[in-house]
Structure 1
Amino acid sequence: MEGGVARVVTDLVRAQVAEGFRTVVACPPGGVLAADAAEAGARVHPWPAVRAPGPRLAGEVLTAARLIRRTEPHVVHAHSAKAGLAARLAVRGRVPTVFQPHAWSFEAVEGRAAALALKWERYGTRWSTRTLCVSETERRVGEQAGIAARWSVIRNGVDLQHFAGDDGTARPAAARAVLPMLKRIPPEVPLVVCVGRLCRQKGQDILLTAWPQVTAAVPDARLVLVGDGPDREELIRLTPPGVLFAGASRDPRQWYRAADVVVLPSRWEGMALAPLEAMACGRPVVLSDVSGAGESLPPGHEAFGLVPADDPPALAAALTVLLTNRALRDRLGRTARDHTRATCDVRQTTAAVSGLYQELLNSPQPMTRKRTER
């Protein structure tokens, strides 16, 4: 209902409405997605569902099935694990169905829960006309896990006009001046910004563990965590000196522009939007090496911007290199901005998704298939 998936859905709605599609969004009421999708032109229907599978699942599937019958869609596009589960159970191949995991459910859990999630993904693919991944690495993870899907890969994109920065060389002092939390921080103070939901996936706890090593080398450095989520109180408890919590932001553009470096230490992803947005603003990024991260970066940036996942010392070392080398930051920022302009336009992403819909509707082949479990 919030974060990257909500932005992806809203971008698709905006483009599809402009193309003349009748676009319906079913989601829990009251969240960012419901409001933004309606503003973008979708017909929003409340779907009372919770985030995780549980005893309410049967009722959620039944409600989804009724909604789908009532709205009579030509294509159902289910985003992320929970909606992917409910929608495929509700439709079961009767309508062309695109499933877009936005990172695999079995990567988010451990032990028995991971085994059950993987078993479902292997089984549920029979009801996916197409499984749409946002990076080649996300597809490979699914394929290596034994998911026998019909695959498509369409990389995430961002609104380049909205996130257009300067030429990548201007200092972030102007952006800091309009953010009340930063007005008392001198422009020369090195600033790292992390934008993301405060949860285990995004790895802010890894970043906080790494931060004392950063400040040992760069004593005046500051870190700002932009976002909210279930781990906020625990993260505050872990917070070392030099860290600020900014809360959620509907538009993080000024935070990217205020930063010297943007970091996202995720434990898993499909392809995160925050690094693309930051690079579009001309800022260098440091990412954990999870699905989509390497594909996000311009060629040659891996040596500076890609670190092993869940590795605080490596994360601290990468941040320290960038914070102590302004010329390197400026060069990487310029290259990042040019790279996103050439490869990460959301208009290309939405056009490719529309093309996928047309391909499915024009296909003479059966929409889904039964198969023998491996």
Structure 2
Amino acid sequence: MTIYHLVDDAGFGGVNRMLDHLTRMIGTRTEAHQIVRIKRGQLSPPRLAGASHVVSHLSICWKNMPLITALRARYAETPLIHVEHSYSERFVAARVENRDRFETLLSAAYALFDKIVAVSRQQGQWLARKFVGDDRLEIIEPCVALDDFFALPDRFPAGKIVIGAIGRFDTQKGFDILIEGLRRSDRQDIELHLFGCGEEEKRLRKLSENDPRIVFRGYAKSPAAAMASCDVIAMPSRFEPYGLVALEAMAAGRPVIASDADGLAGHIENGAINVGDNTPQGWTRFLDAFELRTIRRGDASRRRQAREAEQLFAHRWLALLDALAEEPHHLQSAA
């Protein structure tokens, strides 16, 4: 089999790290995995010689609809899979103004694929309610290379407790909520270390008001190295289809404090700590009350769960590809 993965994300973020891990982890049997870079908005699909499957990691947007439609037409007899990395129920609440138009877009795009892959059970439940029948929906939680995280030793702070927040400086990640929460707290034995960059950096620095407890560490070229310096990882996201940082923290044995937004609710079920009220006031209450010794319990089980998640990721992808290769291919009516 020759599996082509189409991606229009140029950065080395979660999507590309997941793809790199996927092709290395399961591309060891008889199939070949090829990553094809697509320019967002291009009109014609690439020539994919001998494609047995085509997997879309593309952004579903009006600009990409001509490409996706042409892809279905050109590869009418080839199983097409789309992995939904971007959208979730909380995303719609936070970012979408014209919901009818947005739902029309997703319904039209998803109809062109044989399978839609959700990246968390919570996202999958939303997709099933709104857009995709159970027969076309798969749930495969993503994974990246975790060896560097598994190799990190347990951390026992001698001084201040370092809470790490790792990711893009974007309103999605809710770092402003976290900063304001700490600013309202009287705790002086806590430091917040922010790893990342982005358009929100200027605003986040202004919110911090030069509080010495808040440290901007810059872009983390090595997420494992960043996590090595943290005792706890905080994820105050406003929406989050999955939340790879939580999985990485589990592999590193670091406790995670998170909102229950979308896929983060699944991480809470697996041992992350629910902050409850994901507002500055809610984080202040949590920070004022929490004890590191209490939330550190279960470090070994967190690492074990991360190892199981890594194995399940490979197993589910192999099962999906094998099932589509064996089943007769039926064109979607929308094609």
Greater helix proportion = 1
| Residue 122 (structure 2) pairs with residue 137 (structure 1) | yes
Tell me the CA shift for residue 298 of structure 1: 5.2
Residue 55 of structure 2: SS of its match in structure 1? strand
Provide the residue aligned with 1:48 in structure 2. Answer: 39
Specify which of 271, 275, 292 is matched with residue 307 of structure 1: 275
Provide the residue aligned with 1:61 in structure 2. Answer: 43
Paired residues of 1:194 and 1:224 also in contact (CA < 8 A): yes
Cα distance in 1 between the residues matched to 2:144 and 2:33: 20
Describe the shift of the 1:110–1:96 C-alpha distance in structure 2 as closer, same or farther (beyond 3 A).
Answer: same
Tell me the CA shift for residue 12 of structure 1: 1.2
Sequence identity, in percent? 22
Provide the residue aligned with 2:264 in structure 1. Answer: 293
Tell me the CA shift for residue 332 of structure 1: 4.1
Paired residues of 1:88 and 1:97 also in contact (CA < 8 A): no
Tell me the CA shift for residue 224 of structure 1: 1.1
Specify which of 4, 29, 32 is matched with residue 22 of structure 1: 32
Paired residues of 2:239 and 2:261 also in contact (CA < 8 A): yes
Provide the residue aligned with 1:99 in structure 2. Answer: 82
Q: What pairs with 1:261-272 in structure 2 (closer than 5 Å)?
A: 261-272=232-243
Tell me the CA shift for residue 255 of structure 1: 2.2
Describe the shift of the 1:25–1:189 C-alpha distance in structure 2 as closer, same or farther (beyond 3 A).
Answer: same
Provide the residue aligned with 1:75 in structure 2. Answer: 53
Cα distance in 1 between the residues matched to 2:287 and 2:13: 24
Paired residues of 1:286 and 1:319 also in contact (CA < 8 A): no
The CA deviation string for residues 219-263 of structure 1, in whole angstroms up to 9 with x for no partner, is 242111111222222222222412122222232112222212101
Q: 2:264 is matched by which residue type in structure 1?
A: A
TM-score when scaled to structure 2?
A: 0.83
Paired residues of 1:133 and 1:155 also in contact (CA < 8 A): yes
Provide the residue aligned with 1:221 in structure 2. Answer: 190
Paired residues of 2:96 and 2:102 also in contact (CA < 8 A): no
Provide the residue aligned with 2:164 in structure 1. Answer: 193
> How many correspondences in the alignment?
314
Residue 262 of structure 1: SS of its match in structure 2? strand
The CA deviation string for residues 268-319 of structure 1, in whole angstroms up to 9 with x for no partner, is 12211101111111111011111221222355x46xx113574222233334
Provide the residue aligned with 1:161 in structure 2. Answer: 147
Cα distance in 1 between the residues matched to 2:132 and 2:277: 24
The CA deviation string for residues 313-337 of structure 1, in whole angstroms up to 9 with x for no partner, is 2233334433xx2321321434422
Describe the shift of the 1:82–1:231 C-alpha distance in structure 2 as closer, same or farther (beyond 3 A).
Answer: farther
Paired residues of 2:60 and 2:106 also in contact (CA < 8 A): no
Q: Which moved more, 1:15-24 or 1:197-206?
A: 15-24
Residue 141 of structure 1: SS of its match in structure 2? helix
5+ long unaligned stretches in structure 1:
28-46, 50-56, 173-186
> What CA RMSD, in Å, does the superposition of the two structures yield over aligned residues?
2.6
Describe the shift of the 1:203–1:309 C-alpha distance in structure 2 as closer, same or farther (beyond 3 A).
Answer: farther
Describe the shift of the 1:26–1:314 C-alpha distance in structure 2 as closer, same or farther (beyond 3 A).
Answer: same
Q: 1:15 is matched by which residue type in structure 2?
A: M
Cα distance in 2 between the residues matched to 1:316 and 1:165: 32
Specify which of 299, 304, 310 is matched with residue 333 of structure 1: 299
Paired residues of 1:165 and 1:257 also in contact (CA < 8 A): no
The CA deviation string for residues 110-159 of structure 1, in whole angstroms up to 9 with x for no partner, is 212x4322211112221111000121110111122344461001122343
Paired residues of 2:21 and 2:143 also in contact (CA < 8 A): no
Cα distance in 1 between the residues matched to 2:22 and 2:172: 24
Q: 1:327 is matched by which residue type in structure 2?
A: R
Provide the residue aligned with 1:115 in structure 2. Answer: 100
